Amino acid sequence: MQPKVLIAYVTRSGSTEDVAEAVGTTMEQADVLVDLKPMAMVEAIADGTPVVLGAALYVGHFPREFHGFMNRFRRELENARPWIFVLGPTDKDPKHFTQAEEQARKELAKYPWLHAADVRVVGGKFDPHHLKLTFPFNLVMKFPGNPMRKMPVSDTRDWEWIRRWAQSIAEHVKKGPDANRGEFAEYTLYKNSMLGK
């Protein structure tokens, strides 16, 4: 029987969760079963489980739940070759996408034993009125003089690309554990079609 794909994510304000859900729905539509969960809620990963991970960058770092997850499940993840999506830039400056890719690369380099099948920065969302942040970001955002409070809502997530990506993962999963994942270039930045629009 085909194993369920674990889609584990960590979110603060919900935009990473939205992407995780879109990935999950697309995979289900491709007849792949998924188990969609915040990283902190994952209790075990059965051997042979295909894994997709999602996290957002905050001041160059992934949230602590991401690191907790890596440390808790090192043995399982070492052999899993996970697909990883990263939330980040909330404006359309391509430089910020390159920077986010660099930030993600540094964060992932903390786990030299991790061999991702693919890592993609998929854009991000900023809405100053619906932020849910942890300390110290929540405090910083409350300062009346913080210019971020006046920033407009923006969303650079490229849904069409995200769905296509999820579909190609589903095809790989359906081929079985021995399928060659080599056609996914590691750490390659895709061209977000939202840029320049």
Ligand X SMILES: Cc1cc2nc3c(=O)[nH]c(=O)nc-3n(C[C@H](O)[C@H](O)[C@H](O)COP(=O)(O)O)c2cc1C
Residues in contact with ligand X by CB under 6 A are 11-16, 56-60, 87-90, 100, 103, 124-126, 131, 137
Least Å distance between CB 187 and ligand X?
A: 15
Closer of 13 and 167 to ligand X (Cβ): 13
Closer of 153 and 179 to ligand X (Cβ): 153
For every residue of 108-166, which 3-state class applies, written as one string? HHCCCCCCCCEEEECCCEECHHHCCCCCCHHHHHHCCCCHHHHCCCEECCCHHHHHHHH
Least Å distance between CB 60 and ligand X?
A: 5
- As beta bridge partners, residue 8 has 37, 53
Numbers of helices and strands, H then E, in the chain? 6, 7
- Give every strand in the sheet of 118-121, ordered side by side: 34-38, 5-9, 51-56, 83-87, 118-121
Closer of 3 and 161 to ligand X (Cβ): 161
Least Å distance between CB 31 and ligand X?
A: 28
Token pair in block for residue 72? 């808790």
- Whether residue 34 contacts residue 54, with contact meaning beta carbons closer than 8 Å, is answered with no
Least Å distance between CB 28 and ligand X?
A: 21
Closer of 8 and 32 to ligand X (Cβ): 8
**Closest residue to ligand X, based on beta-carbon distance:** 88
- As beta bridge partners, residue 125 has 155
Closer of 44 and 59 to ligand X (Cβ): 59
Least Å distance between CB 102 and ligand X?
A: 10
What gap in Å lies between CA 57 and CA 87, rounded to an integer? 6
